[in-house]
Chains A and B, each alone.
Chain A
Amino acid sequence: MDAALMSDLPRTVDDSFDRVVCEREAQVLRVAYRILGNWTDAEDTAQDVFVRLYRHGVKFPNDAAMGGWLYRVTVNLCLDRLRSSRTPLNLPELRCQELSAEASAIREEQKQKLMTALGTLPAKERAAVVLREIEGLSTADVAQILGSKEGTVRSQVARAIAHLRAILKREE
């Protein structure tokens, strides 16, 4: 499917850039969606991220450097968008049932509740949880992306998970 989609891109766009977009769009969209809570804003943010990548150039010393750069720009743009919008998040619009038909209804319901609870967290804590728990980055990487200390990230994640547990327990 990716190859078919890539053929739609105009040829003026550099091929290496096309390849990076193809490889990294899922990462960017996923992080943006988990932080912002809706696909429309996530898509807008992803556009901004890739346009910035195009201007910056795709020359990075290694793949990890590029990944870190993309994470950092994505999170910063998401936080900027959250700061400017100030609108309450509407996270339950997950389409997990469309995406994973094999998953059980209970599991999907739990995920929806978790995403709803995630939307109640402060933006920076939410970003830390998304990067650390969903994206599976190390604490050091998350700290570098967020511009914080590792201890700060650890405490943010621990506090966020305790908060999520309390919310989910209250709903049970």
Chain B
Amino acid sequence: MTEHEIRNLFREMRDEAIPPDSIVRVRDAVAGRIESGSWVSRFHGWWRIAGVLLAAASIVAVLLFMRPSTAVDEPAPGIAARQPETPFERTVPPERSAPTPVNVLRGAKHPARRATQRPVRRLETPAAGDGVLIRIETPDPNVVIVLVGD
């Protein structure tokens, strides 16, 4: 048999009729499967949701079951240690008092009123009559800077 004859035979096969009973069987089966499938697909979404809810409920139930019962009645150790005879008190922040002045000029020969003043630099108005314009006291009591002007 040549290649040409083989191709001709194949071409004839293309035109052969399909057995009618096969067609009927296929149509019936397809219609039946679609009919039954429509009911399944109608409730498919609900079954999915119900399945998810059931799974979630099962997980919660298992977690509740596994939880020790003492944990419900007794407080946690940290809380228990804090509770006896020491009720929780609200801590009041201490009042802000004025800072006590540091007597940095202790031992100085100057009067005490100067102790509250800033120790490093200080400007003073020049005394009337004398020629001092600025008098600066330093931490060293022996050192006083005096600027004298005309």
Question: Is B103 an interface residue when CB atoms closer than 8 A count as contact?
Answer: no
Interface pair B6/A12, CB less than 8 Å apart: no
Task: Determine the distance from Cα of A26 to Cα of B110 in the docked complex, in whole angstroms.
Answer: 124
Question: Is B81 an interface residue when CB atoms closer than 8 A count as contact?
Answer: no
Interface pair A25/B26, CB less than 8 Å apart: yes
Task: Determine the distance from Cα of A133 to Cα of B6 in the docked complex, in whole angstroms.
Answer: 9
How many residues of chain A have a CB within 8 Å of chain B? 45
Question: Is A169 an interface residue when CB atoms closer than 8 A count as contact?
Answer: yes
**Number of cross-chain contacts by CB at 8 Å:** 104
Query: Which residue of chain A has its CB nearest to the CB of B1?
Result: A168
Q: Which of the four size classes fits the interface of chain B? A: 20 to 34
Task: Select B13's contact among A13, A34, A164, beta carbons within 8 Å.
Answer: A34
- Known contacts A96-B16, A133-B7: does B28 contact A12 (CB below 8 Å)? no
Query: What are the nearest 10 A-B pairs in CB distance?
Result: A133-B10, A50-B30, A168-B1, A47-B29, A46-B26, A99-B17, A9-B31, A134-B10, A26-B18, A29-B18
Residues of chain B at the chain A interface (Cβ within 8 Å): 1-3, 5-7, 9-14, 16-20, 22-31, 33-35, 37-38
Residues of chain A at the chain B interface (Cβ within 8 Å): 1, 5-6, 8-10, 12-13, 21, 25-26, 29-30, 33-34, 39, 42-43, 46-47, 50-51, 54, 95-96, 98-100, 103, 107, 110-111, 114-115, 129, 133-136, 161, 164-165, 168-169, 172
